Amino acid sequence: MADVAVAAGVSVKTVSNVLAEHPGVREETRARVLTAVDALGYRLNPAASRLRSGRTGVIAFALPHLYQPYFGDVAERVIAEGERHGYTVVIEPTDALLARERAVLSGGRAQQVDGAILSPAALGVIDLQGLHVEGPVVLLGARLDDPPADQVVMDDRGASRTAVAHLLAAGRTRIAAVGTTQDGGSADEREAGYRDALTAAGVPVDPALLLDAPDWDRRSSGAAAAVRLLDSGAPFDAVFCFNDAMAFGVLRVLASRGLRVPEDVAVVGFDNTEQSRFSTPPLTSVDPGQEQIARTAVDLLVRRIEGRTGAPEVVVADHHLVVRESSGGPRTPVV
């Protein structure tokens, strides 16, 4: 950089400002510096820049499981948003283990990454309320009353209400809910939205139609719930699944029992994963704002890395329902 400064007849600081694209440098001076850069073959050394700044240029995205369709989709979006900010994103599956999630929040990897986005599964709402967090962190998941760090959350209750209202508007009144767990987090909020919609329509909540599924991350959980529902003999004409993974399991069981979707049973999922377009039939699903979640989470994290201070910020993502054939929507081409 000193050689460039001599060749251009400016200070090293001016060269630095030009390369960083800072405003306030005269166009004539900028042109001289860039000409000198080209003539000398100068290239920035990112490693040296990070060494001076004390940063690694890396952020971590810690998530429970990669095999869950939702997290695979979000991970792709977080990687793209990180690149937009000039950061490399490392994906760190925690396997929903408490110790691994706590390690992300403890700042133990501060010399390896500049910050982390965490989607907790083992750490519940009570564990996270007011917890002390080391370093820049952004949390995904259930909304907290007293978040220890910035949060980007889904409107779980409102989105579920929208999904169930859609089924009610289509004339379905015996709507099963698959995914209740009483975990104090997203499952409870989605069940609350389900109940809200039924109550608003004057439809009683039948406990026989509430199917628990402790392991949200498996299609097998949805399949097992569908088997229990069918074997119980309780009449139903629709199923609202608390995520797409379980909805795929439900669709498989319904087909194996000779039930037509949506003619006999309408099915709606939650997450609008890429796979929902290619299930049989294509799955109606709530889009909880994946792109907004990824973009906002990375934006908030980068601001903290760059020195932003202040109380934790909570952003609630927008949602909308994507109607496909599984709930009576129009037939859609594959491509």
Domain 56-154+290-318 identical in fold to domain 156-288+322-327: yes
pLDDT band at 184 (very low <50, low <70, confident <90, very high): low
Residue 332 has pLDDT above 80, yes or no: no
- The distance from CA 186 to its chain's CA centroid, rounded to whole angstroms, is 13
Asked if residue 94 lies in contact with residue 121, where contact means CB atoms within 8 angstroms, the answer is yes
The residue-averaged pLDDT of 202-229 equals 92
Rounded-to-integer distance, Cα 179 and Cα 254, Å? 17
Q: How far is CA 12 from CA 1, 15, 55, 60, in A?
A: 6, 5, 22, 34
Q: Left if phi > 0, otherwise alpha if psi is -120 to 50, otherwise beta: which for 91? A: beta
pLDDT band at 330 (very low <50, low <70, confident <90, very high): confident
pLDDT band at 229 (very low <50, low <70, confident <90, very high): very high
Residue 52 has pLDDT above 60, yes or no: no
Asked if residue 321 lies in contact with residue 286, where contact means CB atoms within 8 angstroms, the answer is yes
- What residues contact residue 121 under an 8 Å CB cut-off, 6+ apart? 64, 94, 96, 101
Residue 204 has pLDDT above 80, yes or no: yes
pLDDT band at 111 (very low <50, low <70, confident <90, very high): low
Q: What is the pLDDT of residue 49?
A: 53
> pTM for the whole thing?
0.80
Residue 310 has pLDDT above 80, yes or no: yes
CATH code for the domain defined by 156-288+322-327: 3.40.50.2300
Residue 285 has pLDDT above 70, yes or no: yes
Rounded-to-integer distance, Cα 88 and Cα 82, Å? 6
Q: What is the pLDDT of residue 267?
A: 98
Look up residue 92 and give its two tokens.
């760190």
**140 φ, ψ (degrees, to nearest 5):** -105, 180
Q: What is the pLDDT of residue 104?
A: 87
The full 3-state SS of the chain, as one line of letters, equals CHHHHHHHCCCHHHHHHHHCCCCCCCHHHHHHHHHHHHHHCCCCCHHHHHHHHCCCCEEEEEECCCCCHHHHHHHHHHHHHHHHCCCEEEEEECCCCHHHHHHHHHCCCCCCCCEEEECCCCCCHHHHCCCCCCCCEEECCCCCCCCCCEEEECCHHHHHHHHHHHHHHCCCCCEEEEEECCCCCHHHHHHHHHHHHHHHCCCCCCHHHEEECCCCCCHHHHHHHHHHHHHHCCCCCEEEECCHHHHHHHHHHHHHCCCCCCCCCEEEEECCCHHHHCCCCCCEEEECCHHHHHHHHHHHHHHHHCCCCCCCCEEECCCEEECCHHHCCCCCCCC
The residue-averaged pLDDT of 145-156 equals 92
CATH topology of domain 56-154+290-318: Rossmann fold (3.40.50)
CATH topology of domain 2-44: 434 Repressor (Amino-terminal Domain) (1.10.260)
Asked if residue 245 lies in contact with residue 70, where contact means CB atoms within 8 angstroms, the answer is yes
Look up residue 146 and give its two tokens.
């007293």
Q: What is the pLDDT of residue 226?
A: 97
Asked if residue 298 lies in contact with residue 82, where contact means CB atoms within 8 angstroms, the answer is yes
**22-36, 48-62, 241-255: which range is least confident on average?**
48-62
**Residue of 211 and 106 predicted with greater confidence:** 211
Domain boundaries, the chain: 2-44, 56-154+290-318, 156-288+322-327
Residue 20 has pLDDT above 90, yes or no: no
